[in-house]
């Protein structure tokens, strides 16, 4: 089936079998391997992407369902010139990652949270990120990073989700 | 962990959905939010020949008040339930469903049709005795929640029917309490209570194949009995079985605790 | 060193440019799916592969009978007298020994199709009696109705050993109180967010194996040996790896299967990415132990004797290449922990069962031994009427005892346990906890409790300390090459590898300091056996000490070469020269003598300027082995509240202080400790792998196997004391220590809150509620 996806601002057309999950199509067909598959049954959150402004588990959606949708993956967070998104900066500055496997999903979940609640408490951050498992950090440094980003001066835009 | 092959169709109307379902003769599944179905497909525990994607059917995503109830379209996402203010019990229960990325996709119709006995919305539906509106090829019908759920993951939906909307009666007073192993997990035990049209209703999830109404507890509530008696009556009404998350005995005890917690603050003795 | 610099790994990992094995997409690549046993124990009566083989999208179907597989097996070896050597087939032969064991492998165009084809393979089984528990059958009359897992071990015991020191019976007779306990710990597993993955490619000449392994060099050695290839013809590459924690330090049948398949399909890269269901079933488990303890104490609370019997369920196979001794021997060696003890007897055994093999998992056995030891101390304190803090104070090994020879023979070089404990107590304020506890007892509010654990983590084991399992190799050393390139920038080829511990960063910090160059000018290359000379890999909290030691030593040699060459070139006294920030300076002079790149240029490009005695080039390779190791002291304590109605635990406060020696990177160290504690909290409260009696894993998805989320782990106060260890950098390992405390801390805290003894883990709300009743 032919599917049109707007991924990180770029229109992409792929021909995929209906049974292929969005995470597999992003990774294998579009070579956007920043989105990771950790459990493939919707528990770990490693495959989280943003679709039409909302966080979605890419293992719990078939690519054909995303036909025509605007998708932001971790590859779309930094600017075209490579400038990191303030949230990415915060994760680096606060040891918010170790192996980095859960990080893409964690970043996207945190970004949508910060879009809804500009200054969430640590408690709220913990609650809202509880669908993204991390086995390395013990979470404290991730909460530090998200908290720091929420206190930063600049905007925390969700790239590539604006209507054109 | 990859799904077996299936045919995928994405109709634009309910009529087309029903045609597809009929032609597949039981071998089709409706794909709504997919948050429970897709894991089953990936584990190859479900292998329908056809998936009928209903996500693009118009007019199934609205929430509006009608006649002392709130009508919720089948495609309303759990995240919409959380943010609406027309039905506070639904909002409270929906907050307990999974995590943010589950709530953005999971639908009300899908949750009821999947009929997981530990899921939140079936408990709320049974508590309120919601009316499930169902489209079929020959006729539309509606089913009270009390009859809709017939077993674990089993409903009275026929293979060629789909849910279009659900009427959740509006409760004057209500309570909801859940015990989960972790934030966002299915409840080990879930209790919802609601006063609708002057009568109390109580249902418990996670303690049997379907959410279970507790008439004795309801009766005591209507009588103005003490909270402790109500909670004990609810516990007496359930006979849960054991699983990895808790023994039957524990779940029964938690039914009592959660019933009391759900009803705390309702001005009961 | 000592600074939290920007990690070299971060830029690529936060932008989605990490390179994990599952990201590899090579031209012509094919995909493997394994068909796995649905029985815990069964004879294979027939396997039919014809239908799968004839599918148009299938390149190959392999079973244990295939000539490529028939002669190959994993045999973990040990020189211990009581060790029973057994074989683990690559694909099951004749019978299956656990549910999830690979029975067939299918190669197809993509993973979806490979799974389709795997369904076409038909296996007929003849079920055998299944043994799930390691002690039920051991305690019953034996042998009898059970079928041994391996014919070589009719009683299912693969290994037994008794550790002995002093006179236990005399110690117990002299004791005022004797504590007797039987404790059980729960089977759980590492479960990194990235499962295992491998891509094998045979080009007709050389085998390249990309693997998410913690032990690339060891894996190469094993693969070459098992496949009969020259070691130089095998290259193992571990690129970015998404967490390991021990589970990826094992050489698995699937690794060997991929390489065997690649040899059969020349020119075709074959890829397998383990899914989570496979991971839960077939990647190694850990920590299913039983402890039977008798401990004697004097009336002053002094530990006089410890008599222990430890049984570890090692699963269906002796984990390769570490052996079934990995948990029992560690348990026997470290059970007495950081406490003075003269009279010790500990009999350990590793018992096979029809369950997933047990292997190394962060802290290996010690989360359980610390739980056992601290439980004994808490009970003794209660019986003697002294506080749980005081009894620890009276028994901890102190700085004056160092070096302290533990009753198992290991030599403790730390002794800073008391300091760690006192620092933790400052955070927790036990007297305030006590007062609050009393207040709540009176008011009827939810009870709170305090739990404490002191532990000694043996890190960076050198050749002497790693001798215990008598394996045919000793894991004492690492190699590192430090190379100054002609442009003055530095390439470090290190034998270490990383699964998130930031070894690129910390090795760069070590070399930057030792050589005198900017951190940004150091590029560290790890995880590729074609680049680094040798490294045993990531386990036993060893890489900071051993890999760091090698990097430091190599950098020092290179620095001396730079100084000697600069001295010749500029006619200076080498003793007056220093290298700092990429410049060679003369002591006391403001302007640098030259930049490092000038020296490097001469070394490589202007050999005519080289003094006669100088060899061109500017690099050095050094091995380092600490011979023994470094003990890292640690203490943790927590205050918890128990919901009296539901049995749920709320962690109110958690403090940890560890002696980390010299700290290379505080952010990295903090992260290691925090992550280790979180895993311990998961293992204590949530995680349990359970089988039914037929040997089916009933916690086979992440819906049932519960790992802690951000909502389950509290903020933790982490402190350090820094007593440098006796190695080139003065560092002590930090990877595992944090995991050792939580089991004991939480069990102790629940015990304290409810006035009970906790004898098994995890502490589920259901179990606590049962206690409350």
Domain harbouring A8, CATH code: 3.10.20.30
> What 3-state class would DSSP assign to C640?
strand
Residue B67 has what pLDDT?
86
Q: Is residue A106 part of a domain?
A: yes
Q: Please determine, for residue B191, whether its predicted confidence score (pLDDT) is greater than 80.
A: yes
Smallest CA–CA distance, residue A132 to chain B, in Å, is: 9
What residues in C contact B181, CB-CB < 8 Å? 686, 706, 764-765
> What 3-state class would DSSP assign to C520?
helix
Q: Please determine, for residue B192, whether its predicted confidence score (pLDDT) is greater than 60.
A: yes
Domain edge (last residue) among A34, A49, A76: A76
What residues in A contact C502, CB-CB < 8 Å? 98
Total Cβ atoms within 10 A of residue B186: 20
Those of residues 140-199 in B touching chain A at CB distance below 8 A are 182-184
Sign of the alpha-carbon dihedral angle for B81, B85, B87, B90: positive
pLDDT band at A66 (very low <50, low <70, confident <90, very high): very high
In this structure, are A65 and A91 located in the same domain? no
List pLDDT tens digits, range A102-157: 999 999 999 999 999 999 999 999 999 999 999 999 999 999 999 999 999 888 99
Q: Is residue A162 part of a domain?
A: no
In this structure, are A16 and A63 located in the same domain? yes
List pLDDT tens digits, range C521-571: 999 999 999 999 999 999 999 999 999 999 999 999 999 999 999 999 999
Q: Please determine, for residue B269, whether its predicted confidence score (pLDDT) is greater than 90.
A: no
In this structure, are A91 and A39 located in the same domain? no
> What 3-state class would DSSP assign to C115?
helix
Q: Is residue A158 part of a domain?
A: no
What residues in C contact A34, CB-CB < 8 Å? 15-18
In this structure, are A10 and A68 located in the same domain? yes
In this structure, are A40 and A92 located in the same domain? no
Domain edge (last residue) among A23, A43, A76: A76
**Cα distance between residue B20 and residue A164, in whole Å:** 35
List pLDDT tens digits, range B109-125: 999 999 999 999 999 99
Chains that touch C (3 or more CB pairs under 8 A): A, B
C122 interface with B at CB cutoff 8 Å? no
Q: How many domains does chain A have?
A: 2
In this structure, are A58 and A91 located in the same domain? no
Q: E strands of A35-149, at which residues?
A: 48-51, 54-57, 70-72
In this structure, are A48 and A101 located in the same domain? no
Average pLDDT over residues C641-670: 97
Q: Which candidate, C357, C349, C350, C368, places its Cα nearest to that of C287?
A: C368
Q: Is residue A160 part of a domain?
A: no
Nearest to B182 among C111, C701, C709 (CB): C709
Domain edge (last residue) among A76, A103, A131: A76
Which helix (H) or strand (E) is A163 found in, with range?
A: none
Q: Do B250 and C769 touch (CB under 8 A)?
A: yes
List pLDDT tens digits, range C138-176: 776 555 567 899 999 999 999 999 999 999 999 999 999
Q: Is residue A64 part of a domain?
A: yes
Q: Which candidate, C388, C515, C402, places its Cα nearest to that of C453?
A: C388
Average pLDDT over residues C563-583: 97
Q: Is residue A50 part of a domain?
A: yes
**Domain range for residue A50?**
2-76
What residues form DSSP beta bridges with A77? none
Q: Please determine, for residue B76, whether its predicted confidence score (pLDDT) is greater than 90.
A: yes
Q: Is residue A146 part of a domain?
A: yes
What residues in C contact A132, CB-CB < 8 Å? 709-710
**Cα distance between residue C699 and residue C276, in whole Å:** 12
Average pLDDT over residues B80-95: 98
Residue B268 has what pLDDT?
78
Q: Which candidate, C118, C53, C117, C54, places its Cα nearest to that of C91?
A: C118
**Range name among A94-108, B217-231, C457-471, C696-710 with the lowest pLDDT average:** C457-471
Chains that touch B (3 or more CB pairs under 8 A): A, C
Q: Which candidate, C118, C134, C103, C93, places its Cα nearest to that of C33?
A: C118
> What 3-state class would DSSP assign to C448?
strand
In this structure, are A9 and A71 located in the same domain? yes
Evaluate whether B268 touches B227 at the Cβ level (below 8 Å).
Answer: yes
What residues in B contact C699, CB-CB < 8 Å? 244
Tokens of B132: 């499930």
Nearest CA in chain A to C25: A28
**Cα distance between residue C373 and residue C295, in whole Å:** 9
Q: Which candidate, C318, C773, C131, C222, places its Cα nearest to that of B254?
A: C773
Q: Please determine, for residue C217, whether its predicted confidence score (pLDDT) is greater than 80.
A: yes
Q: Is residue A55 part of a domain?
A: yes
In this structure, are A72 and A9 located in the same domain? yes
Interface test with B, best of C111, C282, C646 (most B CBs within 10 A): C646
Q: What is the pTM of this model?
A: 0.98
Those of residues 62-101 in A touching chain B at CB distance below 8 A are 62, 64-65
In this structure, are A8 and A66 located in the same domain? yes
C-alpha dist (Å) from residue C366 to B232, C289, C719: 44, 11, 21
Residue C126, φ and ψ in degrees, nearest 5: -120, 105
In this structure, are A70 and A100 located in the same domain? no
Q: What is the DSSP string of C366-432?
A: HHHHHHHHHHHHHHHHHHHT--HHHHHHHHB--GGG-SEE-TTS-EE----HHHHHHHHHHHH-HHH
- Between the two ends of chain A, the Cα-to-Cα distance in Å is 26
Q: Do C667 and A95 touch (CB under 8 A)?
A: yes
Smallest CA–CA distance, residue C711 to chain B, in Å, is: 6
Predicted ipTM of the assembly: 0.98
Total Cβ atoms within 10 A of residue B83: 12
Average pLDDT over residues C58-69: 97
C27 cis-preceded (ω within 30 degrees of 0)? no
List pLDDT tens digits, range B24-65: 999 999 999 999 999 999 999 999 999 999 999 999 999 999
pLDDT band at A164 (very low <50, low <70, confident <90, very high): very low
In this structure, are A13 and A47 located in the same domain? yes
Where residue A92 sits, what CATH number does that domain have? 1.10.150.120
Nearest CA in chain B to C691: B244
Residue C143 has what pLDDT?
52
Total Cβ atoms within 10 A of residue C129: 13
List pLDDT tens digits, range C460-491: 999 998 888 899 999 999 999 999 999 999 99
* Helix/strand/coil (H/E/C) assignment for every residue in chain B: CCCCCCEEECCCCHHHHHHHHHHHCCCEEEECCCCCHHHHHHCCCCCCCEEEECCCCCCCCCEEEECCEEEEECCCEHHHHHHCCCCHHHHHHHHCCCCHHHHCCCEHHHHHHHCCCCCHHHHHHHHHCCEEEEECCCCEEEEEHHHHEEECCEECCCCCCEEEEEEEECCCEEEEEEEECCCCCCEEEEEEEEEECCEEEEEEECCCCCCEECHHHHHHHHHCCCHHHHHHHHHHCCCCCCECCECHHHHHHHHHHHHHHHHCCCCCC
């Amino acid at each position: 089936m032919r599917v049109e996806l707007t991924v990180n601002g770029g229109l992409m057309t792929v021909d995929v079998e209906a049974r292929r999950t969005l995470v597999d199509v992003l990774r294998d067909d579009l070579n956007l391997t920043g989105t990771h598959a950790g459990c493939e049954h919707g528990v770990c959150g490693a495959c989280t992407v943003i679709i039409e402004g909302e966080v979605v588990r890419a293992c719990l959606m078939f690519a054909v369902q995303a036909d025509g949708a605007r998708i932001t993956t971790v590859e779309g967070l930094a600017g075209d010139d490579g400038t990191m998104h303030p949230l990415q900066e915060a994760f680096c500055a606060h040891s918010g990652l170790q192996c980095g496997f859960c990080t893409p999903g964690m970043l996207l979940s945190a970004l949508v949270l910060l879009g809804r609640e500009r200054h969430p408490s640590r408690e709220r951050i913990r609650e809202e990120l509880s669908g993204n498992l991390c086995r390395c950090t013990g979470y404290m440094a991730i909460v530090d990073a998200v908290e720091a980003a929420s206190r930063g001066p600049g905007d925390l835009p969700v790239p590539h989700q604006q209507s054109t | 962990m990859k799904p077996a092959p299936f045919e995928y169709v994405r109709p634009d109307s309910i009529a087309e959905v029903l045609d597809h379902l009929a032609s597949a003769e039981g071998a089709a599944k409706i794909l709504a939010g997919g948050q429970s179905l897709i894991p089953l497909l990936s584990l190859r525990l479900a292998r329908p020949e056809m998936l009928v994607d209903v996500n693009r059917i118009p007019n199934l995503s609205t929430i509006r008040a009608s006649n002392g109830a709130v009508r919720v379209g089948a495609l309303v996402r759990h995240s919409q339930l959380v943010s609406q203010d027309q039905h506070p019990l639904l909002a409270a229960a929906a907050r307990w469903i999974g995590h943010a990325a589950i709530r953005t996709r999971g639908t009300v119709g899908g949750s009821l049709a999947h009929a997981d006995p530990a899921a939140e919305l079936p408990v709320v539906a049974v508590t309120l005795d919601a009316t499930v509106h169902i489209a079929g090829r020959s006729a539309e019908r509606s089913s009270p929640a009390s009859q809709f759920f017939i077993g674990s993951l089993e409903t009275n939906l026929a293979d060629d029917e789909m849910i279009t909307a659900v009427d959740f009666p509006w409760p004057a007073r209500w309570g909801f309490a859940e015990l989960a192993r972790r934030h966002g997990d299915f409840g080990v035990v879930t209790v919802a209570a609601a006063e609708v049209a002057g009568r109390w209703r109580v249902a418990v999830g996670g303690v049997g194949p379907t959410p279970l109404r507790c008439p004795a507890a309801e009766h005591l509530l209507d009588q103005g009995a003490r909270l402790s008696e109500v909670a004990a009556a609810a516990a007496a009404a359930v006979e849960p079985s054991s699983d990895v998350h808790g023994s039957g005995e524990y779940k029964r005890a938690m039914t009592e605790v959660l019933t009391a917690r759900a009803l705390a603050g309702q001005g009961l003795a | 060193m000592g600074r939290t610099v920007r990690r070299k790994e971060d830029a690529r990992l936060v932008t989605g440019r990490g390179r994990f094995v599952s990201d590899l997409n090579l031209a012509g690549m094919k995909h493997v799916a394994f068909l796995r046993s649905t029985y815990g124990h069964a004879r294979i009566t027939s396997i039919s592969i014809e239908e799968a083989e004839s599918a148009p999208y299938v390149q190959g179907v392999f079973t244990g009978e295939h000539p490529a597989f028939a002669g190959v097996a994993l045999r973990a070896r040990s020189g211990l007298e009581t060790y029973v050597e057994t074989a683990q087939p690559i694909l099951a032969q004749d019978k299956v020994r656990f549910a999830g064991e690979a029975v067939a492998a299918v190669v197809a165009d993509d993973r979806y199709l490979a799974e389709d084809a795997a369904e076409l393979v038909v296996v007929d089984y003849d079920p055998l009696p299944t043994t799930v528990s390691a002690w039920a059958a051991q305690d019953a009359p034996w042998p009898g109705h059970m079928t041994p897992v391996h014919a070589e071990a009719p009683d299912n015991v693969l290994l037994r050993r008794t550790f002995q020191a002093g006179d236990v019976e005399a110690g117990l007779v002299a004791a005022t109180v004797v504590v007797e306990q039987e404790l059980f710990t729960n089977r759980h597993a590492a479960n990194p967010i990235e499962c295992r993955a491998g891509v094998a490619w045979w080009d007709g000449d050389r085998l390249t194996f990309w693997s998410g392994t913690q032990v690339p060099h060891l894996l190469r050695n094993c693969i070459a040996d098992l496949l009969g290839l020259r070691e130089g013809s095998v290259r193992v590459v571990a690129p970015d790896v998404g967490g390991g924690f021990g589970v990826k330090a094992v050489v698995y049948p699937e690794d060997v299967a991929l390489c065997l398949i690649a040899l059969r399909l020349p020119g075709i890269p074959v890829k397998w990415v383990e899914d989570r269901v496979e991971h839960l079933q077939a990647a190694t488990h850990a920590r299913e132990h039983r402890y039977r303890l008798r401990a004697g104490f004097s009336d002053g609370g002094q530990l006089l004797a410890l008599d222990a019997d430890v049984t570890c369920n090692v699963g269906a196979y002796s984990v390769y290449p570490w052996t079934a001794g990995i948990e029992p021997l560690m348990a026997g060696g470290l059970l007495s922990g950081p406490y003075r003890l003269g009279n010790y007897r500990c009999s350990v055994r590793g018992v096979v069962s029809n369950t997933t093999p047990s292997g190394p998992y962060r802290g290996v056995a010690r989360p359980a031994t610390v739980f056992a030891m601290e439980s004994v101390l808490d009970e003794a304190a209660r019986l003697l009427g002294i506080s749980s803090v005081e009894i620890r104070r009276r028994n901890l090994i102190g700085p004056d005892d160092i070096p302290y020879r533990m009753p198992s023979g290991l030599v403790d070089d730390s002794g800073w346990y008391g300091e760690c404990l006192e620092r933790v107590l400052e955070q927790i304020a036990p007297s305030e906890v006590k007062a609050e506890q009393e207040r709540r007892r009176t008011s009827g509010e939810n009870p709170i409790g305090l739990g404490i654990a002191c532990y000694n983590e043996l890190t960076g084991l050198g050749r002497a300390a790693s001798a215990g399992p008598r394996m045919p190799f000793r894991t004492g050393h690492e190699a590192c090459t430090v190379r100054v390139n002609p442009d003055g920038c530095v390439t470090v080829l290190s034998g270490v590898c990383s699964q998130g511990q930031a070894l690129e960063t910390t090795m760069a910090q070590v070399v930057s300091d030792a050589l005198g160059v900017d951190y940004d000018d150091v590029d560290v290359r790890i995880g590729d056996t074609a680049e680094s000379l040798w490294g045993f890999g990531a386990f036993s909290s060893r890489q900071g000490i051993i890999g760091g030691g090698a990097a430091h030593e190599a950098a020092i040699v290179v620095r001396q070469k730079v100084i000697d060459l600069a001295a010749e070139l500029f006619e200076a006294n080498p003793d007056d020269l220093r290298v700092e920030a990429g410049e060679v300076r003369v002591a006391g002079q403001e302007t640098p003598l030259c930049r490092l790149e000038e020296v490097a240029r001469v070394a490589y490009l202007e050999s005519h300027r080289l003094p006669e005695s100088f060899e061109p080039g500017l690099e050095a390779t050094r091995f380092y082995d600490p011979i023994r190791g470094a003990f890292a002291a640690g203490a943790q304590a927590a205050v918890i509240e128990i919901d009296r109605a539901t049995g749920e635990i709320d962690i109110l406060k958690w403090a940890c202080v560890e002696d980390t020696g010299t700290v290379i990177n505080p952010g990295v160290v903090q992260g290691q400790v925090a992550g280790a504690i979180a895993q311990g909290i998961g293992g204590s409260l949530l995680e349990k792998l359970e089988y039914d009696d037929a040997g089916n894993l009933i916690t086979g998805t992440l819906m049932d196997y519960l790992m802690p989320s951000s909502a389950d782990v509290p903020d933790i106060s982490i402190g350090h004391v820094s007593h440098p260890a006796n190695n080139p950098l003065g560092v002590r390992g930090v990877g595992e220590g944090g995991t050792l405390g939580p089991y004991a801390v939480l069990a102790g805290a629940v015990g304290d809150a409810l006035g009970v003894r906790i004898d098994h883990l995890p502490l589920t709300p259901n179990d606590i509620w049962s206690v409350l009743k």
